């Protein structure tokens, strides 16, 4: 799917933070607001875990810029129709791939209606692991 204007703005903002030598931990904290649903971030055990993931290592500018360029240039829209996908699973609070984008993805995959997991953001495998596992098992058992 073509990258949305919103994601381009987010990436541009993160790059400007990085070029201004804002510590990676602070950049990662900003990213957390986009990746995770608010209910997940409100859990007491989550902040220490995410701080551990963030680490204190400053990423070189070329690494961040390369990742941003890869995200902005990633477009597999034409290849989607041929994929053997059974279901589109998404978080209902995903800010990077919001529901309207997930619906477009489902349409491009042959008219699949997305299944939205309540309380999930962009990182369902972390936020809603049990619900995601159950939804995957359901999709696989459906044939």
pLDDT tens readout for residues 3-56: 455 666 777 777 777 677 777 777 777 778 888 888 888 888 887 877 777 776
- d(C-alpha 55, C-alpha 24), whole Å: 8
Task: Look at residue 115 in the predicted model and tell me its pLDDT.
Answer: 95
Q: pLDDT digits over 82-125, tens only?
A: 788 889 999 999 988 889 989 988 988 888 999 999 999 999 99
Task: Look at residue 57 in the predicted model and tell me its pLDDT.
Answer: 63
List, in sequence order, the alpha helices (H) in 20-80: 24-35, 38-41, 46-54, 61-73
Q: How many other CB atoms are found less than 10 A from the CB of residue 78?
A: 8
Q: Cα-flanking dihedrals φ and ψ of residue 117, to 5°?
A: -90, 120
Task: Look at residue 1 in the predicted model and tell me its pLDDT.
Answer: 41
Task: Look at residue 93 in the predicted model and tell me its pLDDT.
Answer: 93
Site of tokens 């049990």: 130
Q: Cα-flanking dihedrals φ and ψ of residue 119, to 5°?
A: 80, 10
Decide: 48 and 32 in contact? Cβ < 8 Å: no
- d(C-alpha 92, C-alpha 119), whole Å: 6
> What's the sign of the alpha-carbon dihedral 32, 129, 1, 69?
positive
Task: Look at residue 121 in the predicted model and tell me its pLDDT.
Answer: 92
Position 132 confidence tier, pLDDT thresholds 50, 70, 90: very high
Site of tokens 């400007």: 16
State pTM to two decimals. 0.72
Task: Look at residue 84 in the predicted model and tell me its pLDDT.
Answer: 84
């Amino acid at each position: 799917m073509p990258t949305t204007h919103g994601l381009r703005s987010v990436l541009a903002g993160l790059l400007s933070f990085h070029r201004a030598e804002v510590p990676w931990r602070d950049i990662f904290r900003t990213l957390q607001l986009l990746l995770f649903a608010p209910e997940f971030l409100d859990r007491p055990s989550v902040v220490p875990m995410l701080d551990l993931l963030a680490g204190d290592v400053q990423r070189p500018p070329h690494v961040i810029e390369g990742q941003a360029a890869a995200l902005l240039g990633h477009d597999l829209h034409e290849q989607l129709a041929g994929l053997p996908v059974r279901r589109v699973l998404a978080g209902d609070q995903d800010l990077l791939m919001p529901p309207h984008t997930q619906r477009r993805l489902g349409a491009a995959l042959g008219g699949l209606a997305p299944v939205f997991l309540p309380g999930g953001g962009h990182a369902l495998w972390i936020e809603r692991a049990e619900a995601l596992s159950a939804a995957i098992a359901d999709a696989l058992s459906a044939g």
